[in-house]
Amino acid sequence: MIKTKTISVEVPETFEKEVEKLVEMGIFKDTSEFIKFSLIKALLDIWDKLRAESSEEEFLEEIKDLRERLGKEGKLKSEEEVLEEIKESREAFKKWRGLL
């Protein structure tokens, strides 16, 4: 059996509401499942970038790109930036599904 540990994370209420929308849509069973999925995806994305065969220069460029994806200078994006990206993603999803 895999040993597990509970991790407490503070997030803005608006993020929680977005996750709840995904749960209500049936995409995730609950908030915990969303968080586990997100952690796995983030870890895989980061390790895929890190282990990609590349020159030192390409490797450093990949790290720079990864940090930019997090936000300027490797800091997390602001709540407003993330919510804007969520809004854009939601609109793209609706267009794709023919809901707009």
Own/partner long-range contacts of 1-4 (Cβ < 8 Å, ≥24 apart): none
pLDDT at residue number 22: 92
pLDDT at residue number 29: 94
pLDDT at residue number 24: 94
- With 0-12 / 13-18 / 19 or more C-beta atoms within 10 angstroms meaning exposed / middle / buried, residue 41 is exposed
Q: Where are the beta strands (DSSP E) in 8-97?
A: none
pLDDT at residue number 89: 77
Residues of the chain where predicted confidence (pLDDT) is lower than 50: none
The encoded tokens of residue 49 equal 């970038």
Q: CA angle 74-58-88, nearest 5°?
A: 50
Give the span between the Cα atoms of 34 and 56, in whole angstroms.
Answer: 35
DSSP letter for 97, please: T
pTM here is 0.57
pLDDT at residue number 86: 75
